Amino acid sequence: MGTRRQFVKRSTLGMAGLGTSFLFPMELLASIRRTVSPNDKIQVGLIGCKGMGFSDLSSLLQNSEVEVVALCDVDENVLREKTDDLEKGGIKKPKWYTDYRKMLEDKDIDIVIIGTPDHWHCLQLTDAIDAGKDVYCEKPIANSVAESEAMLAKVNSSDRMVQIGQWQRSEPHFVDAISYVHSGKLGQIRLVKAWAYQGWMQSVPVLPNSSVPSGVDYAMWLGPAQSRPFNENRFHFNFRWFWDYAGGLMTDWGVHMIDYALFGMKASDPKSVMAMGGKFAYPGDAAETPDTLQTIYDFGDFSLLWEHATGIDGGNYGRNHGVAFIGNNGTLVLDRGGWEVIPEHDRPHWSKDLGPKVEPVPLQKGIGQGLGLHTKNFLEAVKTRDASILKAPIKVGYDAAVVSHLGNVAYKTGERLFWDAENKKFNNPKADALLMNEYHNGWKFPKMG
């Protein structure tokens, strides 16, 4: 069977390559958790218990001082399933909620994990801050530029610890790769490519509307999104491909990859953006967001190219996802499996030296520790009350989300847009109208600050 460490390492690496959630075998929890004094316990409530929300909770529970006291989900079937999973790990049944606001009233909760669809993140994070909770929030932080602004302002005006789930910031080989980029060895970097080619993604078949499944509070699931009849396609995982709730692959995978592009280049605000693409693979399916997209950002002294495609695995450099920093001396290619440096060679008519301009670096493999290190870093910030040690504070989430959403706005308008970062607007009124998402069903956009 091998050791627990080997098991976690293998499983995490495998799932990282597939882009799926990190799964932890609940049966192992009981064997690794130790008795902790009640005074040392950190009590957690989870909002949105499926997918990455539960993965985040599972990662936190590997630290014995963490105790889950509440689960909140609009689907009672999910609450039941995840409670059963926790009990396998020796975790007693937490309190159940369907309305997150009721959960936030619980004074015993120290930390809130937000694992809901994107259209809920802004309200839930700002409300959690107002309730005095520290927050671990899944990416992308928001479903619009305006929501990103509101969340940044709210966190910055508080003393709460907020970590965004861009866990690659804690993954050792990602950190090592960026240290190499920052060393200057690549020379002038003119172009950065970031991409996600997701061959596993099939067409989303058109399905008729149906009755709401038993145990689901559908009105609460919709929240501030436009009221529509229930459709299975818009529920749980596939919500990502509908504009009401998310931004497609541009914000789903794009946030992760673009974050590291920005990190490597020490950049945040593009001068302009343009995008082209569409539903080329599955033109007649139910999804709204493009299955094929190329987005070009001008940062003044370099360009950033984002690409995504569903149903195709043949991405750049033979990798189905990644970031490439293309410099005069060589190219560094990075993904969840590892990083390498491909050198440029001098040209005969430029130099007599036919050697490489930078020494090649063979593949430096990742070891799949990112999520565990990320949640541990968050816990350390919570315990020390030192936000400066957070690996993915709100500004990191903000920058990646804004750049990704600007790309989607450019796609929707079909025009090259020039971005005024100081005033948070484009040179185009039609594009400016897409920076904020309208709230429905009696929900109000949160106040800034």
Cα–Cα distances (Å) from 67 to 38, 71, 79, 132, 286, in that order, read 10, 12, 17, 18, 40
Two tokens, residue 133:
């909770």
DSSP 348-361: TTT-S--SBSS--E
Residues in the chain predicted with pLDDT less than 50, given as ranges, are: 1-21
Q: Tell me the pairing of strands 303-310 and 292-298.
A: antiparallel
Calpha distance 302→171 (Å, rounded): 26
Beta strands 42-47 and 66-72 are parallel
**103, 37, 35: which is closest to 69 by C-alpha?**
103
Burial class (CB in 10 A: 0-12, 13-18, 19+), 98: middle
DSSP track, 105-159: T-TT--EEEE-S-HHHHHHHHHHHHHTT-EEEEPSSS-SSHHHHHHHHHHHHTS-
| Domain boundary assignment for the chain | 4-167+372-394, 170-367+398-432
pTM: 0.93
pLDDT at 22: 66
Q: What is the CATH number of domain 4-167+372-394?
A: 3.40.50.720
Angle between helices 52-61 and 370-384 (to 10 degrees): 60
CATH architecture observed for domain 170-367+398-432: 2-Layer Sandwich (3.30)
How many Å apart are CA 423 and CA 318, to the nearest integer?
A: 40
- Each residue's pLDDT tens digit, 338-368: 999 999 987 766 655 566 889 999 999 999 8
pLDDT given at position 13: 36
Q: What is the pLDDT of residue 21?
A: 46
Distances from the Cα of 222 to the Cα of 144, 245, 263, 439, angstroms: 16, 9, 34, 10
Which of 229, 228, 246, 227 lies closest to 237 in space, CA to CA?
A: 246
Contact assessment for residue 240 and residue 246, using Cβ atoms and an 8 Å cutoff: yes
**How far is the CA of 355 from the CAs of 328, 346, 347, 361, in angstroms?**
14, 6, 9, 15
